[in-house]
Amino acid sequence: MNRRDEARAATLAEIKRAARRLLVQGGVGAIGLRAVAREVNLTAPALYRYFPSHEALVTELIADLYDELTTALMELRCAGEGDLSAQLYLLANGLRDWGLAQPAEFALLFGTTIPDPDAVGHDDTPGHQAAMRFGGLFKDLVAQIWHEKPFPYPPDEVLGSKLVAQLSDESAHFHGMPPGAIYLSLTYWTRLYGLICMEVFGQLHWVLPDAAAYFEAQLYEIGLAMGLDCPAPE
């Protein structure tokens, strides 16, 4: 990389750091191109040389945040190598800890609507690719658990043909898991995801000032349902 490329890379990084500061200070609505340009002492037209649109900047920021989160969770999973129960606990609690520590970033990734996921080219965007890398951590772990010790799942007739058809289409992405097992995996994921979202966004405080014990109890139930040797909540 020559000096010109290094200077451009440094400016890109500075722009994204500024966008993240604005996100933390005022939410996603605060990430305006003019506001970011002021943060890095650029004119708005000059900023367009680095990001052609507001959407492009936010997409890059989303990709960076997903990759930051994924890297942190991968390190946690490595700490539980050889113990699938420990890996599940480490990943789930790691996601919760990250969200509680960085609620603005969590809200951008998990609390905003994905713009037209069926649009042409959406799957090729940096944000989507980074999101898939993040999701792969949980998906691959559940598939590994299933293949080592298959857990019971509802039969196809309970789920209905329309749902089974959709889940069957995803079987290859879940390393050959049957529709019912994918259904439970999705159920467990949305359960944990929903709990973390409610806690990060302050929707559990009315009954649980500290939701950690509730989260651990839910995670324990999920682990048992998947046939894991899980430590009982304290």
User: 17-31, 71-85, 120-134: which has the minimum mean pLDDT?
Assistant: 120-134
Q: In whole angstroms, give the CA distance from residue 65 to residue 68.
A: 5
More confident residue, 121 or 145: 145
Q: In whole angstroms, give the CA distance from residue 58 to residue 23.
A: 10
* Per-residue pLDDT at 74 exceeds 90: yes
Average pLDDT in the 31-42 region?
A: 92
Q: What pLDDT does residue 187 have?
A: 96
Q: Percent of the chain having pLDDT more than 90?
A: 76
Q: In whole angstroms, give the CA distance from residue 94 to residue 79.
A: 12
Instruction: Please give the mean pLDDT across all residues of the chain.
Output: 91
Q: Residue 59's closest CA among 4, 121, 11? A: 121
Give 213's pLDDT tier (boundaries 50, 70, 90): very high
* Per-residue pLDDT at 127 exceeds 80: yes
Residue spans of alpha helices (H) in the chain: 3-26, 33-39, 44-47, 54-79, 84-101, 103-110, 126-148, 156-159, 161-169, 179-200, 212-225
Q: In whole angstroms, give the CA distance from residue 173 to residue 139.
A: 8
Q: What pLDDT does residue 101 have?
A: 97
Where do the domains of the chain lie, and which CATH numbers do they carry? Answer: 1-52 (1.10.10), 60-225 (1.10.357.10)
Q: What pLDDT does residue 231 have?
A: 79
Q: In whole angstroms, give the CA distance from residue 73 to residue 55.
A: 27
Q: What pLDDT does residue 102 have?
A: 96
Q: In whole angstroms, give the CA distance from residue 166 to residue 179.
A: 8
* Per-residue pLDDT at 114 exceeds 80: no
CA–CA distances in Å: residue 212 to residues 53, 154, 196, 233: 40, 30, 10, 10
Q: In whole angstroms, give the CA distance from residue 121 to residue 128.
A: 10
Give 98's pLDDT tier (boundaries 50, 70, 90): very high
